[in-house]
Chain A
Amino acid sequence: MALSAPLEASGSDTIGAVLVVGGGIAGMQASLDLADQGYKVYLVEKESAIGGKMAQLDKTFPTNDCSMCTISPKLVEVGRHPNIDILTTAEVMDISGEAGHFTARIHQRPRYVDVEKCVSCGDCIEVCPVLIPDPFNEHLVDKHAVYKQYPQAVPNAFAIQKAGVAPCRDACPAGQRAQGYIALIREGRWDDALRVIKMDNPFPGICGRICNHRCETACNRGKVDEPINIRALKRFVTDKVYENPREPVEPVEITHPDQEVAVIGAGPCGLTAAQDIIQAGYPVTVFEAMPVAGGMLRLGVPEYRLPTEIIEREVQDIIDLGVDLELNHRVDDLDRLFEEGFSAVLIAVGAHEGVKLPLPGANLDGVLINTRFLRDVRLGKYENGKAENVPPLGERVLVLGGGNVAIDCARTAVRLGKEVHLACLESRQEMPAHEWEIEGAEEEGVHIHPSQSFERILGNDDGYVRGVECAEVKSFHFDESGGLHVEKRENSRHTIPCDTVIFSVGQRAGLAFIPDDAGVGITDKQTIAINPNTLAATKEGVFAAGDSVSGTAFVIEAVASGHTVAESIIRYLQGKPLEPSPEPALPVVELSDQEIQDRLALGEIKRQPRVPMPELSVQERIDNFSEIERGYDEESARAEAARCLSCGICSECMSCVFECGKDAINHDMVAQEKTLDIGAVILAPGYQTYHAELSEEYGFGRFPNVITSIQYERLLSASGPTHGYIRRPSDDKTPHRVAFLQCVGSRDQSHDYCSAVCCMYAAKQAVMTVEHTRTETKADESRPDVECKVFFIDTRAFSKGYEEYYQRAKEKYGVEYTRCRVSEVNENPVNQNLIVRYSDPYRDNNRIMEEEFDLVILSVGMEISESVKGLGRQLGVELDDYGFCHTTLFDPLQTSQPGIFAVGPFREPKDISESVTEASGAAAKASQLISTGRHTLTVQKEYPPERDVSGEEPKLGVFVCHCGSNIGGYLDVPSVAAYAQSLPYVVHAEDNLYTCSQDTIAHIIETVKELKLNRVVVASCSPITHEPLFQDAIRQAGLNPQLFEMANIRNQCSWVHSDDWEGATEKAKTLVRMSVARATKLNPLKISEVPVNNAALIIGGGAAGMTAALNLADQGFPIHLIEREDALGGNLRRLHYLATSNGTKADPQRFLKEIVSKTRSHPLITTHLNTELRETEGFKGNFSSQLQKDGEKFWVDHGVIILATGGAEYHGDEYGYGKNPRILTQLEFEDLLAKNDPEINQDRTNDTSEHDSPLPDRVTMIQCVGPAEKYCSRICCTTAIKNALKLKEIHPQAEITILNRDIRTYGFKERIYTQARQEGVLFIHYEFDRKPEVILNGSDGNGSWKDAPPIFVRTRDPLLNTDFELSPDILVLSSPVVPSPGYKDIASTLKLSIDMNGFFMEAHVKLRPVDFAADGIFMAGLAHYPKLLDESIAQAEAASSRAALVLSQENMLTNTRVAVVDQTKCVGCLTCVRICPYDVPVISSEYNGVGQIVGAAYIEEAVCHGCGSCASECPAKAIQLKHYTDEQTNQKIDAFLAQFEVI
């Protein structure tokens, strides 16, 4: 393996910014470390919030800390950090450039919610009608299309999920949001549904009846069974709303009275355009030649399809906006309109002129035209069987034509009592009319004569029609110029007798009013020539739309055309270019057959045909014009609406837009592409859990009570779908028998690795199950009301505190462990319990067992998602076959691309604490690379000087927030503000709609300045989220930020008392009173600066110490590296081999040589060998330590300490160690291997006969020796297998047996375990209650093993259930790592805690794994816990990062809220010294206490954490915590219960 050279970025001007990919805990930690060290950070997260998997978890092992409680302060910190830009819904497209100078392109999907404006009130959720399975809750419950991943999400804002444009909307010419109103119908929100329809279409009742509904053709539901009956649903909405009296429509405000628009034609197109134009503020006059408005709708469509009252109502809604409608006004001169002062003219005259074919006899009496006929009927001219001023109808009517209008004519004639025939050119199948129309006509008795060519119309002697002579058509076609060519059957001429003929062979626009010289072009087809994009005619200011442009089309096209032309006209009036710039469109959602099958399989969709539309029977309808379709009732409509698949996810129903009081929602947002200049990249994209449905034998997806472990986390979580009550999915019952199945998607045929965390989380989940059930059922602790059973292979409890936790789970919680892999899970159909089938090889003689459980949890493993693999490939970083990022053992965080680092499970499965460690480590690596760019891109805010308010009487301003309706909707905000005004010292009180909005913040700043306020109280949401914002505001107004107080009247009042208006109002007043009372006692607090010494003291010169030293020195910090021994290297000096998981070789001795030489030659590293630490004084940033070298003592000053004191191999006398040279430890055995390794000793051979300690032929190893019976030493299994494989390599005949309790080859180490078994290494299990026994034949502690007496190892094979004896040449004891000698002295010198095994205690096991509770001291390597070399290196880098946080500051800003001692009251009782969790107080001889006695408590404010423990414990009340003084708190307590008047 090649060692990576230290990375040096070209040039000194590296970019001081880092791109962090992935907003999980690792990405967050890396971001915080870097931003705090003076780098700009871009944190890219693909979801809408950061937090990652940890936010989904309930508790964390081994401390059972609440995951959300531990992560949420970090979330807030990241969210608020001025130098971290969080880019959510974003992904990296590519990265170019080189280390130190990269350019990244980021694709950011639209969120549709403005993060700056959203106050996270959740009003939008209340109205969102779309529900989809919630991925954050692992599909256990649904979420809305507008959502926040979880309540504490950062950014604290909602987002809208859109999959794209639903096909129904895409197919509609007018872009009707069908999915939107369907979703609202499902919820019974008829008015809202109508509002959605009307946003795109002013004629819902009309289109609900006569639309040709292309939406239904496109509907994805058609791929399941039948499309949604969208048209019927639309009509239903209007039926429901129109049942009620019509609400008057208010006229719109005309803002441009001088720019009036004339619209010619009051049809659907003209009226749609008129509506849009007037809504834009332009006056509109509509000229209509007919006595009624509505155009073809009113005069062309028969009443039985479209009742007049519907048309009148919908037309009136437009007219009432203020449109001037001129009926019976035929425009006969276009130019006159401009002369009359119109600024633009829209021609929307429709196509009302019917056409007669030029046949002989076409002018006979009794030959009618379709449009005229329908119009006359509609105008009532054929009522009561009479014909007034219109041609009378005969008894036998023949309609010529096969289109929809022809059918309308025929069915109308039926209703007038006539015998009706219809003849057309096309065959029955090819008739252009809709099939359902033709069928309806046939049902009503219309005789259809298809494939007819009309030859001539025959008349009788009176000049009246008597029939039409036709010929049968064989085929026909139109040529390119539109000419018709018909091939007729020979001798097929015949006559269809009739006494009335109605031509229905087409319509066209009547354009006679357009003068030839008007400049408005007319096409050959008698339509107006227009630009198809803008609908502008050839004359400026003239536009044309609808049928007069397109020829006859459907009403929805007229509406669409009306919208388009209105937009053009408005642009024209505004003087803008007519053609708008194109906008990126969302993709249309097409559900694939596979997706549909998946959703059917998961039960998300159930097959169900559409609900039929009720209709009048033929008898009921044939003699009248009553509407045929009766419409849905409510039940049918909801049932039909429920079939919608919500393809687009968000349906764009706009309910959220109407509801949002902050105007934060914008559905027109589009994807953004951002380019970032950065110096380094950290990849922390995390993992996905295994798709458990692929392990079909366990029934996930088929059996509701088989769930995954991550689903179970949600069930256990107090903020999860069951509020933390464990309920099984099938029946919501509390389970009493729960099974955990391990290694699902790990350690199997398709995963050659161990996922490293499942054993522990299963143990934790089992423990929590018992805890929850106990609490709920109040069960006896000794007999819990739930049984948990874990089916496992090995329990990999390999890290700090894990083994102890695992033992506790078994002993204290009664969790049962069965060592086997379950073969199958079946469901008991009676009770939906699960039958788990297995055979336990260690018990029951391998019998097949079946056991029934209420709930089965699958412990799913970690995988890398396809999108992360794609990212890795895109960036060119080397990945393994599973997509994990490949890194080397000596530089574990470095990817194959310089300047790009990888952390967390993306490298190898691992848990939170190791991911956090690596995140800090990668931050150090990045910082090492770009340290020249430090502080170049970070920002610091400038403020005006602080006003001195000392001596002023309190002058308070109180700002009470409505938070839209979030507070104002549940309590009386104005009365709270009025009450505040009445309180003492309050000079100003007011209420605001949103106190946090930018304009209110500006207003607060102005008010503070204007009224010279010196304290501010805001009553609104929570100080946790909003206090910094308001503090910043008053700081901008010149006030010290501590002169601010908040009353939490939302989260802790209006939201929790939503049904008690009076009570909530009173409580809000009390909370305000309490805050005001406290505020009067607030004092300004000064932040002081303490200079920082930028040197580091590193204790321990092993791999960890040297790694940390080199990292920090490369960043420019001077280092004192002290080593007790006479050489650098520590335990690394004894390593000859490393376990690699991918077959590569790693030479630790070569690495040692290189790192020692680099350390010795670095100009900033001073190495002190043979040196020990004597004492240390000072605090973070300013330490001073006395060192002793060869008896000589000297002092060094430094800002931080890194403790890397390492560990030692345990040498106890267990198993006869020390009594026979045949018994070795693993390190000793490794030495033996190296001595015999031809690769290492090329001058020697492995001929065993030639030297003293040849290779053995038979080796037995015993795992878990001595202290390892209590804690897992983590590295021994890997080391044992590594050495076994090495022996096999250089001496293939060797027989090796490893006696073990569990093989804990976590992560990729699993691969060498597999390899060892393949190579014939024998693994035999034992238990502590039956340990192997070593039989010695006499004692001989010296010399070569060859000459020593033989030894025997007696053990039991649990599989065969027999004892047997091994006689190895060598017995190797896997002795654990124990703390290095002298650890207790160090702990006492530095006042550090150690755990019960002697390892140093970190500040927090998960989130602060390398920090000590004491500030400024960090640790790495074996001093923390046993670990492998690469883990030590990563941890050393992490310690460097944490140290650099201090060292990179010129001055440290002190905490303001610190404890201060009034030494005159101090009696020196030591209470504070003992109580402080951070060991900060000291009794200092520099101070005199009560009675001038020398020695009083002193608290260094630079290191005080401000918890106040000392202040509340001090018996003399000599300590006060600033900002939480007794006076301030008492004032608040008093104000709660007593009325606060006099202060």
Chain B
Amino acid sequence: MSENEDFQPEIVAFCCHYCAYAAADLAGSMRLEYPTSIKIIKMPCSAKVDPLYILRALEDGADGVMVAG
């Protein structure tokens, strides 16, 4: 991890279509703010998040992975 204070970790968030993804939409409706380095990938269910996806994201260079559902 970088010591740099400006470091913005690139984060992949796998979100369940029914709950977490809808919650992320709601965060928008409520105009909450979070860093642009977080990108959300919609999943049909958090149970569909194969551990291999998480590994692949990290392998590709993601600094963190979030699974929300």
Contacts and interface: CB of A to CB of B under 8 A. Distances in A.
Interface string B40-66: 111111011111110011001110000
A594 to B, nearest CB: 37
Max count, chain B CB within 10 A of own CB: residue among A151, A1066, A1536: A1536
B21 to A, nearest CB: 7
Contacts of A1511: 48, 50
Contacts of B56: 1530, 1533-1534
A1070 B39 contact: yes
A1529 B43 CA distance: 9
Contact of A1051 (B25, B35, B39, B52): B25
A1536 B44 contact: no
A1512 B40 contact: no
A1532 B39 CA distance: 11
A1060 B35 CA distance: 9
Given A1507-B47, A1512-B47, A1524-B48, A719 B30 contact: yes
Nearest to B15: A1052
B60 A1521 contact: no
A936 interface: no
Interface string A1029-1065: 0000000000000000000101111011111100110
A1056 B22 contact: no
B53 A1529 contact: yes
Contacts of B26: 151-152, 719, 1051
Nearest to A1477: B47
A1056 B28 contact: yes
A1537 B29 contact: no
Contacts of A1067: 36-37, 39
Max count, chain A CB within 10 A of own CB: residue among B34, B37, B44, B60: B44
A283 interface: no
A800 to B, nearest CB: 23
Contact of A1048 (B23, B37, B40): B40
B53 to A, nearest CB: 6
A784 interface: no
Nearest to A1068: B36
A69 interface: yes
Nearest to B29: A151
A735 to B, nearest CB: 24
B6 interface: no
Given A151-B26, A1507-B44, 13 more contacts: A1022-B25, A1051-B24, A1052-B24, A1053-B36, A1056-B27, A1059-B33, A1067-B36, A1071-B39, A1521-B48, A1532-B41, A1533-B57, A1536-B41, A1537-B61
A1536 B22 contact: no
Nearest to B13: A1052
Contact of B22 (A69, A1050, A1060, A1533): A69
Max count, chain A CB within 10 A of own CB: residue among B17, B45, B48, B62: B48
A684 to B, nearest CB: 25
A1060 B60 contact: no
B7 to A, nearest CB: 14
Contact of A1024 (B21, B30, B61): B21
A1538 interface: yes
B62 A1512 contact: no
Contacts of B42: 1023
A714 to B, nearest CB: 14
16 contacts: A151-B26, A151-B29, A719-B26, A1024-B21, A1048-B40, A1060-B36, A1063-B35, A1064-B36, A1507-B44, A1524-B44, A1526-B50, A1536-B10, A1536-B12, A1536-B39, A1536-B41, A1537-B61
A1064 B39 CA distance: 11
Contacts of A1533: 12, 41, 53, 56-57, 60
A441 interface: no
A1063 B27 CA distance: 18
Interface size class of A (residues with CB under 8 A): 35 or more
A122 to B, nearest CB: 8
Closest 8 A/B residue pairs (Cβ): A1508-B48, A1051-B28, A1055-B28, A1063-B36, A151-B29, A1507-B45, A1509-B47, A1512-B50
A207 interface: no
Interface size class of B (residues with CB under 8 A): 35 or more
A234 interface: no
Given A1051-B24, A1056-B34, A1057-B33, A1534 B60 contact: yes
Contacts of B47: 1475, 1507-1509, 1512
A1512 B34 contact: no
B27 to A, nearest CB: 6
Nearest to B48: A1508
Nearest to B24: A1052
B41 A1521 contact: no
Contact of B29 (A1051, A1457, A1523): A1051
Contacts of A1506: 44
Nearest to B33: A1056
A628 interface: no
A1074 interface: yes
A645 to B, nearest CB: 30
Nearest to B43: A1524
B29 A1055 contact: yes
A1509 B21 CA distance: 18
Nearest to A723: B30
Contacts of A1051: 24-29
A1060 B36 CA distance: 8
A1048 B41 CA distance: 10
Nearest to B31: A1055
A951 to B, nearest CB: 28
Contacts of B41: 1074, 1529, 1532-1533, 1536
A1048 to B, nearest CB: 7
Contacts of A1074: 39, 41
A1509 B45 contact: yes
A937 B32 CA distance: 44
A1063 B44 CA distance: 28
A1537 B18 contact: no
Contacts of B31: 1055-1056, 1058
Nearest to A1537: B60
A1533 B42 CA distance: 11
Nearest to A1476: B47
B22 A1024 contact: yes
B57 A1537 contact: yes
Max count, chain A CB within 10 A of own CB: residue among B10, B29, B51, B60: B29
A1537 B64 CA distance: 12
Contacts of A719: 26, 30
A72 interface: yes
B28 A1050 contact: yes
A1358 interface: no
Given A1064-B36, A1511-B50, A1526-B52, A1052 B44 contact: no
Contacts of A380: none
A151 B57 CA distance: 32
Contact of B62 (A151, A1066, A1532, A1537): A1537
Given A1508-B48, A1521-B44, A72 B22 contact: yes
A73 interface: yes
Interface in A1500-1543: 1506-1509, 1511-1512, 1521, 1523-1524, 1526, 1529-1530, 1532-1534, 1536-1538
Contacts of A1057: 33-36
Contacts of A1064: 36
A1507 B48 contact: yes
A1024 B27 CA distance: 14
B25 A1048 contact: yes
B33 A1058 contact: yes
Contacts of B39: 1067, 1070-1071, 1074, 1536
Nearest to A151: B29
A1533 B49 CA distance: 12
A1322 B27 CA distance: 56
Contacts of A1538: 60-61
Contacts of A1071: 39
